[in-house]
Chain A
């Protein structure tokens, strides 16, 4: 079982694994792999808890009710699966700042926190705007050959590549 405790697997092997997993999500659960609607549902649950009012009268939560469903459990599973993988390979470590960020922007947590929070807000809006994320469009949608998903996945990367260059090398980069 030494295989399971390796720190890194070949990206091709991991990709094949995800491809095979997608066969089973379709076959056994009639679901494509996806992550971002679970965030919408959680956001609705939190708003419901904080405001004390049901969010079911809002049109978007009629489309995606603020309830635990297959995909919500799937996202919970991702956290657990990654935790297990990291623990058995000795990779688990509490880290405030990723090393690439540290090398470029320094050791202070606050700038990284602000970038992550702001990035998360923009990404959350974008994922719901486009109707999916790097999993729902980028993997499950493209493998169904959906036109919307190929367009979305290509634009995620085009826009991400341009933005990353601006962040790391400035507007002249």
Chain B
């Protein structure tokens, strides 16, 4: 682990900016900064969003778990619970379809000049985040309901990670093959 590098705050802020620039560049080139492409995915007419996300998952998972095996990275899985993940996920989806962008892609949409993203959605997300921060002390019980914590799939099934990774990546590649062969 590059612990010294990780603890250098100023350098890390610059790294954050540079990595964000690369991410924004890729999102714009992928077309997912566009409302039409994101809604095309939610209407199941255009599978660009899923193709990007799942190919990132294949490449990312293999690399991260190889580096974890070499002990040069550590994982940061997010905690989950029924009340948090399921309810939050469903709320998010409603907003996602109404807005037609998500927090990352809306930032890219702003960069390419979409004013509905800047004037409507961006301000909306800030308001929504603020509302949640104020509700948070009262949501404790709901968020804790059905707690399962920071567990990963290999830990859940009590297997070596590669027992999950290899079939998962094969399934994703088969899914891509099907998508391409039916012209989506």
A-side interface residues toward B, CB under 8 Å?
Answer: 6, 8-9, 11-12, 14-33, 35-36, 38-40, 42-44, 46-47, 55, 58-61, 68-86, 89, 91-101, 109, 112-165, 167-168
Contacts and interface: CB of A to CB of B under 8 A. Distances in A.
A91 B28 contact: yes
Interface in B94-130: 94-100, 102-117, 119-130
B112 A86 contact: yes
Contact residues of B: prevailing secondary structure: helix
B132 interface: yes
A147 B80 contact: yes
Nearest to A132: B78
B164 interface: yes
Nearest to B66: A23
Contacts of B119: 113, 116
Given A28-B2, A86-B113, A143-B61, A73 B98 contact: no
Contacts of A140: 60
A78 B77 contact: no
B182 interface: no
Contacts, number: 535
A78 B57 contact: no
B107 A127 contact: no
A101 B35 contact: yes
Nearest to A26: B73
A146 to B, nearest CB: 4
A49 B168 CA distance: 47
Interface of B: 1-2, 5-6, 12-36, 39-40, 42-44, 47-48, 50-61, 63-64, 67, 72-81, 84-100, 102-117, 119-137, 139, 143, 148, 150-154, 156, 161, 164-165, 168, 176
Contacts of B92: 122-123, 126-127, 129-130, 133, 152, 155-156, 159-160
A14 B89 contact: no
B28 to A, nearest CB: 4
B21 A80 contact: yes
B78 A141 contact: yes
